[in-house]
Amino acid sequence: MRLPHLALAVLAIPAMATAIVAGGRAVQNQSGGPGEQIQVSAEPQPAAPATSAISKPEAAKQATHSRAIDPEIVVPPQLGSDELERIEPRAPLSDLALAGLPRPPKTKMPDDWKGTKLFQPVAPAAGVIEAKGYSIAVSGIDIVKQDETCTDGGKSWSCGIRARTAFRAFLRGRAVVCAVPPEGGRDLIAAECRIGNQDIGQWLVENGWARAAKGGAYIEAGEKARAAKKGVFGPAPRVSGLPPLPAASRSAPVAPGSILEEQDGVLKPPADQQAPVE
């Protein structure tokens, strides 16, 4: 059995040598010139180590861009013949964008002064407010009292009641803010009052429902109201166009069987019966 194998090995040696020579000539034709020769040894070469199959790390390649931009090819934007003008930047949208120091606190104006808020005010007269235990007379005005009357063409009319009605319509039960002491009292207190940002004294004087006090802040508004004949300076309200009041109705007829009888327009118990116990 060993002889056939030995014979095959002997015959394979010339075939391997012939293949190696043919391979060397092919390599010589591809890489070398006519004068170059590659010496091929018939002796077997030692086997290469297993690590030789791993390629060596290549040199770091130069960084490439996704788009190749050549500054010499890129066309610059077209500009006008005039030179560019620098303008001021726009104002910031809020103070948060400012990098400087914070602004000083805003100075409080007269409309921002604080006071005591009084809910559900009651007006017994134009310019007088009662609420939360306080009785307040709006400062800077001469109050038109409830029982005051004014003259129009020789006829008097109740301008005090009319002024009180107009003032109540202005309040409409809204909360007022007045500069009053922390605790209320029974005495009448003169104080400045407002509803929101509207000065109540200013409203009363400029609409003619109060007179401006001498040396007060509403002198000019009072003169305009007097010239325009507003409020108490104007004519009496006309009531001729209103429908007449209904006549006084008689007492309802007494139902049959009732214990009351009508005597001179008044319901009274009969003479033989006693009055019902209340």
**Who's near 67: CB < 8 A, 6+ residues apart?**
none
Cα–Cα distance between 179 and 114 in angstroms, integer?
A: 7
Structure tokens at 136: 């307040």
**Inter-residue long-range contacts of 201-204, CB under 8 Å, 24+ positions, other chains counted:** 201/127, 201/138, 201/139, 201/140, 201/141, 203/170, 204/126, 204/127, 204/138, 204/141, 204/167
Pick the CATH number of 112-233 from 2.40.50.90, 3.10.450.100, 3.60.110.10, 3.30.9.10: 2.40.50.90
What pTM does this model have? 0.48
Which among 184, 217, 187, 183 is positioned nearest to 200, based on CA atoms?
Answer: 217
Which among 240, 235, 211 is positioned nearest to 223, based on CA atoms?
Answer: 211
Task: Indicate the length of the chain as a whole number.
Answer: 278
Measure the CA dihedral 6/12/13/18, to 10°: 170
pLDDT band at 63 (very low <50, low <70, confident <90, very high): low
Q: What is the pLDDT of residues 215-238, one digit of tens each?
A: 999 999 999 999 999 999 999 887
Find the mean pLDDT for residues 94-110: 62
Q: 8 pLDDT exceeds 70?
A: yes
Farthest CA pair distance, the chain: 169
Domain boundaries, the chain: 112-233
CB 260 within 8 A of CB 269: yes
Please state whether beta strands 116-118 and 134-138 pair in parallel, antiparallel, or not at all (unpaired). Answer: unpaired
- Give the residue with greater pLDDT, 166 vs 16: 166
Q: 206 pLDDT exceeds 60?
A: yes
Q: What is the pLDDT of residue 251?
A: 47
Q: 155 pLDDT exceeds 90?
A: no
Q: What is the pLDDT of residue 61?
A: 53
